Every structure is written in C-alpha cells, then in structure tokens.
Amino acid sequence: MRSRKEFTMRPSPSVVFLAIFVLLAAPAAPQVITGTILGNISDPSSGAVAGAKVTARNIGTNVSSKATTGSSGEYTLTYLPTGMYEVTIEAPGFKAFRQTNINLGVDSNFELIPSLPWEA
C-alpha cells in the first residue's frame, strides 16, 4: 500500500506579518476623556454680555482655561480634562460671578447661564 501524504497549509511569514501589521495599525475607537463648559451670559435685563472673560480652573490641577463671550454672550470651553472646576466670569460694569464645585465628567457638557448683576 502506498502511504498517503497529508498536506497542511501554513501561511507564509510575510502573510502573518501583514496580518499583525493591519491589526495593530487599525485605529481604536476614540476615547473621550474630556468635557465642556458652555453657556450664555446676560445682564439683569436679559441682554447679552459681550466681551466677558470666562475662566474655568481645574481645582485638582490648578490649570485654567479661558474664553471670551461673543456678541450674543455665548462662550464654550472645550476639551477640559475631567475633574472639579471653579468658573469665574468678569466683565466691565458688572459684579464678578463665581461658581464652584462643578463636577465635569467624561464626555459631559456643563451648561452655566448666569445673569451678571450690575456693579454698584
């Protein structure tokens, strides 16, 4: 009787290398580990406060991010690392505003819409 040879297929080393390269080079799903603080600032008569300086300070790291309100009083502070924040808002002719203990989580938006009182 003749012996029967069995053939096993083995991928070539270049195919294995290519497969590993493709798997490692594929982009991972993006991880959003930041949040956003946004809002509109108005005066006591509900008018927009343009040009107000908005500062968000991370209480844990003491790093601050700043924005200036647009013509309709809007502001956005994006890509803020998660953590506890203090936000201060200052504009000429108005009393300063401060909000503390803002807990900014992963991929979260915190909307802060204060009305600034007139300066006496």
Q: How many domains does the chain have?
A: 1
In a domain, 17, yes or no: no
Domain range for residue 72? Answer: 34-111
8 A C-beta contact, residue 119 and residue 95: yes
8 A C-beta contact, residue 79 and residue 54: no
pTM: 0.73
Assign residue 97 the CATH number of its domain. Answer: 2.60.40.1120
In a domain, 11, yes or no: no
Q: In this predicted structure, what is the pLDDT of residue 2?
A: 61
Residue 103: CA count within 13 A, CB half-sphere: 0
CB atoms within 10 A of CB 42: 17
Q: What is the mean pLDDT of each run of 10 residues along the chain (120 residues)?
A: 63 67 60 90 97 98 97 97 97 97 95 95
Q: In this predicted structure, what is the pLDDT of residue 29?
A: 56
Sheet of strand 83-90: strand arrangement: 64-68, 53-58, 83-90, 97-104
In a domain, 29, yes or no: no
In a domain, 116, yes or no: no
Q: In this predicted structure, what is the pLDDT of residue 12?
A: 72
In a domain, 27, yes or no: no
